[in-house]
Amino acid sequence: MIKGTRILMNEEAKQYTDIINKIRDCLHQF
Amino acid sequence: MPSIYDLNTFSKKTSEELENQIFKIQSKNDNDYCLIPEVTGILQEKFNKNWFFEYKKKPLKLFYVNRCYRYETPQKGRYREFTQFGVEILGGNQPELYKTEIDNLVTDILNLFPDLKYNINPNVKRGLGYYTEEGFEVECQNLGAQKQIIGGGRYKEGIGFAIGIDRLILALNS
């Protein structure tokens, strides 16, 4: 791996997808 | 969105700063390629070339979640590979209404995170060349130097913004 890249796993990966899903849900009224 | 593009896809419409950060790829032939540094410029180009013709509804409202790449010195909140969640309103003839819609949507999104401490700067000159007027930015002071988590504004084809998901998560966890 090179500097400035990361592996997201477990809790961090879950938070990442949860946040994206939450924001996407906001678009229903858009 | 694809990750790999011809280098000249971005070099014309971006700022000098971003151009210096483009992640270039050495190819086996004479073509110069790069990794996508940001999405809005691609959508503007597709819109101008009528690529979205099958979507009859105007304006065209889009969102994307995309990995982007920039060759920068890594530091807290500044990664070489990061995720942007973006929203764009393209075309149509009610720019003031679209501005209100974008502002309301940003407020709704920020309200999702009641613990997030942020400031909204409603008038800021943004780094990318395609903006036609001052844009807006949302900053989280607890992130340090790389504190901008949302940025957007108006451009010739419409209006939009992008959220830096990695920085948002950092801000929420710090």
Whether residue B2 has a cis bond before it, omega within 30° of 0 = no
Smallest Cα distance from B22 to chain A, Å: 14
Check residue B13 and give its pLDDT: 66
Check residue B40 and give its pLDDT: 94
- Chain A's closest residue to B98, CA to CA, is A30
Check residue B108 and give its pLDDT: 96
Check residue B12 and give its pLDDT: 66
Per DSSP, B78 falls in state B
Q: CB distance A15–B169 less than 8 Å?
A: yes
Per DSSP, B136 falls in state E
Write out residues in chain B with pLDDT < 70, as ranges: 12-14
Domain boundaries, chain B: 37-173
Q: Cβ contacts (< 8 Å) between B169 and chain A: which residues?
A: 12, 15-16, 19
Check residue B24 and give its pLDDT: 92
Check residue B145 and give its pLDDT: 85
Query: CB distance from A17 to chain B under 8 Å?
Result: no
Check residue B95 and give its pLDDT: 95
* DSSP strand pairing (B4-6 vs B24-25): unpaired
Check residue B130 and give its pLDDT: 87
Q: CB distance A16–B63 less than 8 Å?
A: no
Q: What predicted TM-score, i.e. pTM, was given to this entire model?
A: 0.93
| ipTM surpasses cut 0.95 | no
Non-local CB neighbours of B47 within 8 Å, separated by 6+ positions? B60, B90, B91, B157, B158
Q: Cβ contacts (< 8 Å) between B87 and chain A: which residues?
A: 27, 30
- Nearest-by-Cβ selection for A19 from B61, B63, B168: B168
Q: CB distance A27–B169 less than 8 Å?
A: no
Number of other CB atoms surrounding residue B135 within 10 Å: 22
Q: Which fold has domain B37-173?
A: BirA Bifunctional Protein; domain 2 (3.30.930)
